[in-house]
Structure 1
Amino acid sequence: MIKRILVIRNDKIGDFVNTWPALYELKMAQPNASIEVFVAPVLEEFAKICPFVDHVIFDNGDDPAIRQAFASRQYDAVIVSRSQIRTYRLVRQLDIPYKLAPKLNWYQYLYRHRASIEVPKGLGGWRKSCMLVEHFLNDHGIPVPPLPTQYWDLSHERRKWQDHYGQQGEERLIFAHPGTGGSATSISPRDFANLLIQVDRQTDIACKFVLTYSGQEISLAQQMYDLLIAQGINVVMAKPLSNLADFARSLVAADMFMAGSTGPLHIAGLHNIPTVGFYAGRRSAPKVRWQTLTQSDKRLAFTPPIGKKTGRNMALIDFDLASKEIASFLNTQYAWQQAVG
């Protein structure tokens, strides 16, 4: 009988969000087992509110203490979604009957159980963790449950968070998050603000733009805010929240989320709200690999031209085309609702 399963994913926000489908599969397949995760410190509170997680251990960098924490939980299985040699050293001496790692790097051969995580063309990076979990379930003769269309239903909190962001009447809350979580340069505040201005002018719906940010991104958001206010755009700077968990919950208020920073963009996708992502232009197709968990008909993605000299230059995105597509998308999603209302 499987009582406890540990999933190791101690890296960035977007990477952890991309394990939610795999965690869902584990919890639905083994509802009586304790599904537990090992995550980076920034993710501790957020991981605790994941509906498919029963216990969280965060990576404090103290490897002896971490090994002791793992040992005390008496795991029946560990699934290494983020594989490093350090990870192997953390679990190698532990009496865990089943240890599964992806077929990556030379140290994959240190594990008895290994699984391919080569994602089929056209599917997002979230499939990697699912492939590990499905390998685990198949090895134990456990059926793989079907995935849902939405991973986090906080519709009962939507009105509360709409009030938090100052939504009034029929206006739609369009969130925009400056900065980037990847290797590409950020969209400049001027380009991003001009994009929002064009969207506002071309859409038939009443928009209220909400600028979210973290840390030093506040300066980018402030520049955008000043440019938008000067053009008479209905815009607010987001009210600060105390932690990532509350911010993640609050995104249920959004009617669209736009960002080049994949972490908050992925969190928005958990709510199955429309997402607009701005990605580097590479042959590895990051807009596919890093697609959000929002349903495919609710996702838009834009990149600069593919190439070493052009792919990281976000100023080369066709913002005129992007504004038309975003405005059309908003009209399709929401304008008819306003007409009916």
Structure 2
Amino acid sequence: MSALSLLRRSLSTLAATLLLGGAALADSSPLVTTDWLEKNLSDPKVRIVEVSVEPGLYERGHIPGAQNVVWHTDLVDTVTRDIASPEKFQALARKLGIDKDTTVILYGDSNNWFAAWGAWVFDIYGLRDNVKLVDGGRKKWELEKRLVATNPVPVKASTFTVAEPNRKLRARLADVVSVVEKKSDARILDIRSPDEFSGKIIAPAGFQELALRAGHIPGSVNVAWARAVNQADGTIKPVEELRKLYAEVGIDGSKPVITTCRIGERSSHTWFILSRLLGYQVANYDGSWTEYGNTVGLPINNPAGTVWGGK
């Protein structure tokens, strides 16, 4: 076949893909657009899941067909301060009608922080390639004034069997201390705001302060999560911009990365970007500053000079 014929075939394939509303592109991307989702709302192989933190938000209106997952009860163990157990996650996935071949579309409020946490937990328990985020989340869907529903749609339960947890996706306190003590060459990326990182404040305004000390983990670098998104609609910036953004602080995929924040939800958003979009080896530290900053005897950095109590 001539080079010209090959080019014509490639252009034809691209045109067909575009005419299909980008469905073929969505298969290989960890993100879906609001346009793509609206065109695929009735696909029986697609399961839409909202993971928001604001109480009653789902009930007031959600993407049609979406199932509701409550972050602080469904995806965590509230007693042990842990992620949902394998048994709990398996029961949740079955209830949602999710199986290995289901395309799971996650979205939520707060710029998809908690939806990304959901993607992280799904990945830990063996659901990865078919799990995607709505780019821009609930914010973009609402800005575009797309259709919402108030009545949940019942789904048939699945027979999903949970996989052995992938422990490489989760960093524990010991892993972080190993980096601090220079026994590991992993890089720690703190994605909190510059004021939190410096120790000027412990938590953003309106958030509960869960640590006694202010500052950051020694040796960590800071790229606030918000720098990776377009503020107007919450969509994630282009891949090449992201690579440059993180490379500026030495995060380039050459070494394993540990993402951290205050309680692990904002850092899961950056975990998603680094691992799913950039293909880096990343573990999310859900203990984050709440655990590290409260641990007796561990060193911290506090450029703001506040150290204890943020004052």
* Short-chain TM bin: under 0.3
TM superposition score normalised by structure 1:
0.25
The structure whose residues are more often strand, as a share, is 1
**Structure with greater proportional helix content:** 1
